[in-house]
Amino acid sequence: MKTAEGLAEYLDSRRAEVEEALAAILPAPPDAPGVVDTAMRYSLLAGGKRLRPILCLASADAVGGMRSMAMPAACAIELIHTYSLIHDDLPAMDNDTMRRGRPTLHMVAGEGMAILAGDGLLTEAFHVLAREPVSRDADTAARKLRVIETIARAAGVVGMVGGQAIDLASVIPDPKGRLLPELDAAGLRAMHARKTGALIRASAVSGAIMGSGADDQIAAIDRAAAEFGLAFQIVDDILDVEGASADLGKTPGKDAAAGKPTYPALYGLEASRALAQECAVQAIEALNSVGIAGQLPALAQWVVGRRN
């Protein structure tokens, strides 16, 4: 495994590449009307950890592939992730006012434009996946198609949209009008596997596919990413309890205030931390089983220690 410093440098380099690619990926005016273009870029280019695209690139690296082949998928997933955050923040969903350290898009552009910016980002993601990498090679075309299927499944009702629907329906008022979580531990895990886990898995799997990974490598990366995604979510729940707004770039304490089922609410903070660490161990074991070392296992451990 690389040192912590090695991972930090790796994250910085990949993040810089992703920022550069994202800045160039959307159609610009006059092709796109300026008003929706501005709204899309406001949210897309507002920072963010870029965890999903980095995971995609790291997976291409892990199977010995070319990162440039995975960059379109990495960007497409960040477009989809950004759309999900814009829509999640809307008054009809989480009704949040801060995201990525700035006012949410609907606060500055209005709800209608925020909905359209989200729609635009989601659609452009599939435009990018169909278009890039530009190649006449039949094997590359087959891999692109497999990635489109993987990402569409993860983003849709089988994955993220389905998870969001379960989440939206998961808080019920009791007779005294208090909000009670409707999900037990298994239900919570299944909801997160769809809502945040599916896109994280698709990020890693898409990188491994575009990096020309072998099937056993892709399967192991998928198993590891499922654990990684759960660890990410548990830590997100912990940070929502412990985190400061300045670190998170969003409003902390919202889950508890909304009566939402969370890992700390179900297990307590200490057990939640142990659960996240166990997920990282499982992820690393899955990668070890096919001989994958380097940045991917280091990333799995990093996600457990993250502070934002």
Question: Using CB under 6 A as the criterion, which residues of the chain lie in contact with ligand GRG when the complex forms?
Answer: 48-49, 51, 81, 84-85, 87-88, 100, 160-161, 164, 195-196, 233, 236
Q: How far is the CB of 264 from ligand GRG (least distance, A)?
A: 13
Q: How far is the CB of 253 from ligand GRG (least distance, A)?
A: 13
Q: How far is the CB of 190 from ligand GRG (least distance, A)?
A: 15
- Exposure letters 202-228 (e unless 16+ CB within 10 A, then b): bbbbbbbbbbbbeeebbbbbbbbbbbb
Question: How far is it, in rounded angstroms, from Cα 123 to Cα 283?
Answer: 32
Cβ-Cβ contacts under 8 Å for 27 (sequence gap 6 or more):
37, 124
Which of 25/290 has CB closer to ligand GRG? 25
Q: How far is the CB of 29 from ligand GRG (least distance, A)?
A: 25
Which of 206/233 has CB closer to ligand GRG? 233
Which of 161/219 has CB closer to ligand GRG? 161
Backbone angles phi, psi at 174, to 5 degrees: -85, 175
For residue 254, give the nearest of 236, 273, 233, 228 by alpha carbon.
236
Q: How far is the CB of 290 from ligand GRG (least distance, A)?
A: 26
Cβ-Cβ contacts under 8 Å for 30 (sequence gap 6 or more):
none
Q: How far is the CB of 194 from ligand GRG (least distance, A)?
A: 9
Which of 13/288 has CB closer to ligand GRG? 13
Q: Is 93 helix (H, G, I), strand (E, B) or coil?
A: coil
Which of 55/220 has CB closer to ligand GRG? 55
Angle at 115 between CA 104 and CA 106, to 5 degrees: 25
Which of 63/204 has CB closer to ligand GRG? 204
- Long-range CB pairs of 90-93 (<8 Å, 24+ gap) are 90/114, 90/115, 93/164, 93/168
